[in-house]
Structure 1
Amino acid sequence: MKNNWADAMRKNVHHLAGSLGNLLVESFHYLALFAIGGITAWAAVMAFLGMMEKGNITVDDILLLFIYLELGAMVGIYFKTNHMPVRFLIYVAITALTRLLISDVSHHGPADLGVVYLSGAILLLAFAILVVRYASSRFPSAKVPDPDATVKGALTEEKGET
């Protein structure tokens, strides 16, 4: 009798600790996502206001706004799906390298070997997107079980419900 009581108490403490830990982790997760999203939006607004104040907008400025847009989309997708979209990180890198390439060519005049390196890096990243897309369609990731669904399923089985 005492062993059953102690085992039940241990299970209850384990379940409470797991629930509290999940609550803290998820709270931090959402707080961090809101902070990153807010900072991204703030940086985009400040960049846009700086462009308006400057009076002229260059391709560099437009590409910078695209970087902010992609970062915001990445945060939104992560918020909804809880998965980091690796392709968006590669898109941000391609946009940043394109911005650097355009800035380098437009501000420094004649192209040098750096243009070839940047172009090669962009091509390599584009190939990486192709590989990631092929791999995700050919080898889809397994569905991660929802711990809440597992607990609910176990509770309904104990009560004899289906």
Structure 2
Amino acid sequence: MSKNKIDLFREAFNKQADSLGNLFVEVFHYIALFAVGAIIAWAALQEFLSIFTAHKELVDGILMLFIYLELGAMVGIYFKTKRMPVRFLIYVSITALTRLLISDISHNHKPSWGIIQVCGAILLLSIAVLIVRIASSRFHVKEEDESK
């Protein structure tokens, strides 16, 4: 009989510990997401202001604002769906490489293998977006039961 009481206590303790652990993880996720969102908003505001005070080239600033927009959208999508949108990470990478390419061409004005490499990386990332989109439409992930 005492073994049953110990097993029942262990199961109840494990259930409480799991609930408490899940609560801590969710609280950490929300605090971290709010912090990341606030930092993105602050950085975007700083970038916006630097464009108007002419401390930065206009095209570079606009592309940085697009990067901040995509990062903010990623945080928002994660809040709504609890899933990290991989495509947005690829979009951020493509935008960052495009910014690098435009900056390199506008400052150096010299053809080089670096330009070809950056263009190849953008092409590979674009193909990756296509593959991710096709895979997500063909192999749609089923939603987990929320009642668990």
**TM-aligned CA deviation for residue 144 of structure 1:** 3.1
Cα 1:76/1:142, change in 2 over 3 Å: same
Q: Name the counterpart of 1:118.
A: 118
Q: Name the counterpart of 2:144.
A: 144
Looking at structure 1, the residues matched to 5 and 99 of structure 2 have their Cα atoms a distance apart, in angstroms, of 66
Aligned pairs, how many?
Answer: 148
Looking at structure 2, the residues matched to 113 and 16 of structure 1 have their Cα atoms a distance apart, in angstroms, of 59
**TM-aligned CA deviation for residue 57 of structure 1:** 5.0
**TM-aligned CA deviation for residue 56 of structure 1:** 7.0
**TM-aligned CA deviation for residue 52 of structure 1:** 1.4
Q: Name the counterpart of 1:23.
A: 23
Q: Name the counterpart of 2:35.
A: 35
TM-score under structure 2 length normalisation: 0.92
Q: Deviations over 1:83-132 (max 9, x none)?
A: 11000000000000000111111111132222211111111100000000
Looking at structure 2, the residues matched to 112 and 13 of structure 1 have their Cα atoms a distance apart, in angstroms, of 64
Q: Deviations over 1:56-90 (max 9, x none)?
A: 75211100100000000001101111111000000
Q: Deviations over 1:2-58 (max 9, x none)?
A: 444333322211111011101111111111111111111111111111121127752
TM-score under structure 1 length normalisation: 0.84
Q: Name the counterpart of 2:93.
A: 93
Instruction: Provide the aligned C-alpha RMSD in A.
Output: 1.6
Find the structure with the greater CA-based Rg.
1
Gaps of 5+ in 1: 151-162
Q: Name the counterpart of 1:6.
A: 6
Secondary structure class of the residue paired with 1:54? coil
Looking at structure 1, the residues matched to 53 and 75 of structure 2 have their Cα atoms a distance apart, in angstroms, of 28
Looking at structure 2, the residues matched to 55 and 47 of structure 1 have their Cα atoms a distance apart, in angstroms, of 10
Secondary structure class of the residue paired with 2:53? helix
Looking at structure 2, the residues matched to 48 and 23 of structure 1 have their Cα atoms a distance apart, in angstroms, of 37
Looking at structure 2, the residues matched to 53 and 13 of structure 1 have their Cα atoms a distance apart, in angstroms, of 59
Looking at structure 1, the residues matched to 61 and 18 of structure 2 have their Cα atoms a distance apart, in angstroms, of 47
| Identity value in percent | 58
Looking at structure 1, the residues matched to 103 and 121 of structure 2 have their Cα atoms a distance apart, in angstroms, of 16
